[in-house]
Structure formats: structure tokens, C-alpha cells
């Protein structure tokens, strides 16, 4: 089998395929759909991360393609219906970046609470920026987790470990599951009104796009905070800027964006109440090579 590996797939993962006898060709992200469609004519499989998109048009001429592998949890960059209709299997690695994403969300939580980015920038600018950067303690604060899958549950566990109160809403769990969860479950509106900080850990689908829009932000407690280290498009970015400017939300931290890389002239970049990171939650390195979460296609 001939495999196309885009988007900087880690060498350990590529080695697994080569040892299994596959031919592997690596590529930088392929942004042009027409170029990708032409390229896929010659491959039995493709591995991607987030940069190379696989819409239906990219699969139109992929007569040999048997499998699409996503080196990560989400498959929102892949037209799964189009692939399925063509008999192409779509596989992901749901455990691949669980700890990386969860720990990054927690790091954003601490960064917001202690004003770490502003303090660091001030110190490097030759200042001693103590005034106005006192921050707040996380112990006793209420964390609302939207999405209680692998990553969300890990965040909930770590937050509880530092003394936070934790509750959750999950759009994919039936109401009957509430009694079986160790984390109290609430409706979305209840969670928004209850929490001091909301953190998102769900995939982007048609149903979850802009799940946190202006109406939802206004249901959040005045002075509360928002974290999105899951998927771009879950939060209405324009509405977020509006409620931050008005002072309804005290701050937000974003690791994912509607358009990635984030545009150089994006108004998000200059906002003083925002902490921004370049989709770092998806990055991880395993020291034990045997645990690298890539697929062995037989």
C-alpha cells in the first residue's frame, strides 16, 4: 500500500507504517483541493492532522483510496459522509492527544487566573507589573465543562484535584447518563449561569458550531471566563469580542480558531482580555514509542 502523510506526521508514526511494509510519501499541508484531488489518485491511504482538509471534492478521483487516518481526535476536517459513500474508511486516534489537550486547557486556566502572559510581557519590557495583576485563586471556583468525553473528563478530574467545583454539560450524552457520571450534569443554560469558568471539549459539528454564541455568553455570569482548546468555530469570535468589550466576560483563552492559522490582522490578536495560543493542545510527544497512537492498516 502507498500512503500519503501530510501535515508533519511524527517520524515514529511513519516508522510503524514502513516497518509494516507500506510505502510512505510525506508532504507539507496541501491546501489546494484540486491539487490534493489529483495527488490522491495514486494513493491507497492518507494521514492528516488539521491543516490538510478533505472535502468531497478532494475524494472525487481517489479511485484507489481505501483509508483516511486522522492523527488526532476530531474528524471535522474530513467529509466523512462523502468518504463513506465511496467505501473509504475514516479512522482517528481519540486517545492520541487526550493528555496534551487536557493539560493545555488547564494551563490556560492557570494563565488566566494568574495573568501569566501579561506579567511575562511586562517583565520582558523592563517593567515590574504587579499592579492590576493580582489574579484569583482557583480553589473553590466553579468550572463548567462542556463535553465530558476523554479530554473533558480528564480536565474535570484535574480541576477537582485542585479544589474546584466541577459540573458538566454534554450534548451527546442522553439525560439518563447523568446519574452514572461522577461529575454532576446540568443543562447548557444551567451550566452557563452556574460556572465561573466555562471550558469547551467537544467536536465541531453542524449542531455544535457556535454553541457558545452571543446569547449563550450573556447567560454566563458577569465577570466569568471562557476557554476553548477544542475546535475553532465552537465560539462565535465576533460575539466574544463584543461581550469582552462590554465587560460582561472578564476574559477568555483560545487555542483554536475558525480560521487557522489565525489571520495576522485578526482583531483577536490585539484584545487585552484574550490569551491566544496557536493550537498547541493537539501537540504531544510520547517517550514510549510503543504508545504512539497511529494506525496499522492490514
Report percent pLDDT > 90 for the chain: 78
- Bond before 261 cis per omega within 30 degrees: yes
Q: Is the per-residue pLDDT at 137 higher than 70?
A: yes
How far apart are alpha carbons 194 and 22 in whole angstroms? 52
Candidates 253, 251, 269, 271; CA nearest to 261 is 269
* Predicted confidence (pLDDT) per residue in 42-97, tens digit: 999 999 988 899 999 999 989 999 999 998 777 888 999 999 999 999 998 776 67
Write out pLDDT tens, residues 220-255. Answer: 999 999 999 999 999 999 999 999 999 999 999 999
Which active-site residues does the annotation give? 231, 260, 279
The per-residue pLDDT for range 116-130, each reduced to its tens digit, is 999 999 999 999 999
Q: What is the DSSP letter of 289?
A: G
* Residue-range domains of the chain with CATH: 2-96+287-291 (3.40.50.720), 98-282 (3.40.50.720)
Confidence of residue 285 (pLDDT cuts 50, 70, 90): low
Of the ranges 50-54, 196-200, 269-273, 275-279, which one carries the lowest mean pLDDT score? 50-54
The 3-state DSSP class for residue 218 equals helix
Between CA 48 and CA 115 the distance in angstroms is 35
Does 9 have pLDDT greater than 80? yes
Q: Which three cell numbers stand for residue 262?
A: 489565525
CB 31 within 8 A of CB 261: no
pLDDT at 180: 57
Strand boundaries in the chain, DSSP class E: 2-6, 23-27, 45-48, 67-70, 89-92, 142-146, 165-169, 197-200, 224-228, 249-254, 274-276
DSSP state of 252: E
Q: 89 and 48 in contact (C-beta within 8 Å)?
A: no
As a dihedral over the C-alpha atoms of residue 217, residue 221, residue 224, residue 225, rounded to 10 degrees, the angle is -30
Q: Binning pLDDT at 50, 70 and 90, where does residue 13 land?
A: confident
Beta carbons of 113 and 136 less than 8 angstroms apart = yes
pTM of the entire predicted model: 0.80
Report how far residue 49's alpha carbon sits from residue 76's, in angstroms, rounded to the nearest whole number: 11
Amino acid at each position: 500500500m502507498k500512503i500519503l502523510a501530510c501535515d508533519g506526521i511524527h517520524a515514529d508514526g511513519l516508522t510503524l507504517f514502513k516497518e509494516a511494509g507500506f510505502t510512505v510519501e510525506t508532504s507539507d499541508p496541501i491546501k489546494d483541493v484540486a491539487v490534493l484531488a489529483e495527488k490522491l489518485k495514486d494513493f491507497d491511504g492518507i494521514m492528516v492532522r488539521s491543516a490538510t482538509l478533505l472535502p468531497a471534492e478532494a475524494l472525487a478521483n481517489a479511485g484507489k483510496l481505501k483509508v483516511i487516518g486522522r492523527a488526532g481526535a476530531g474528524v471535522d476536517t474530513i467529509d466523512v459522509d462523502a468518504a463513506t459513500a465511496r467505501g473509504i474508511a475514516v479512522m482517528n486516534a481519540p486517545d492520541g492527544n487526550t493528555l496534551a489537550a487536557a493539560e493545555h486547557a488547564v494551563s490556560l486556566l492557570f494563565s488566566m487566573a494568574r495573568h501569566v502572559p501579561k506579567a511575562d510581557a511586562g517583565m520582558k519590557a523592563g517593567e515590574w507589573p504587579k499592579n492590576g495583576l493580582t489574579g484569583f485563586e482557583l480553589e473553590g471556583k466553579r468550572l463548567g465543562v462542556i463535553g465530558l468525553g476523554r479530554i473533558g473528563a480528564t480536565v474535570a478530574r484535574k480541576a477537582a484535584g485542585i479544589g474546584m467545583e466541577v459540573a458538566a454539560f454534554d450534548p451527546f450524552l442522553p439525560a439518563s447518563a447523568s446519574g452514572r457520571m461522577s461529575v454532576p450534569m446540568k443543562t447548557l443554560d444551567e451550566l452557563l449561569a452556574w460556572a465561573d469558568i466555562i471550558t469547551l471539549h467537544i467536536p465541531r459539528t453542524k449542531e455544535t458550531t457556535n454553541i457558545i454564541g452571543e446569547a449563550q455568553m450573556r447567560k454566563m455570569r458577569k465577570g466569568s471566563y471562557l476557554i476553548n482548546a477544542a475546535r475553532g468555530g465552537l465560539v462565535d469570535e465576533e460575539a466574544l469580542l463584543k461581550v469582552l468589550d462590554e465587560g460582561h466576560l472578564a476574559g477568555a483563552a483560545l487555542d483554536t480558531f475558525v480560521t487557522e492559522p489565525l489571520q495576522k490582522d485578526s482583531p483577536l490578536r490585539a484584545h487585552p482580555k484574550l490569551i491566544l495560543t496557536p493550537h498547541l493542545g493537539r501537540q504531544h510527544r510520547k517517550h514510549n514509542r510503543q504508545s504512539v497512537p497511529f494506525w496499522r492498516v492490514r
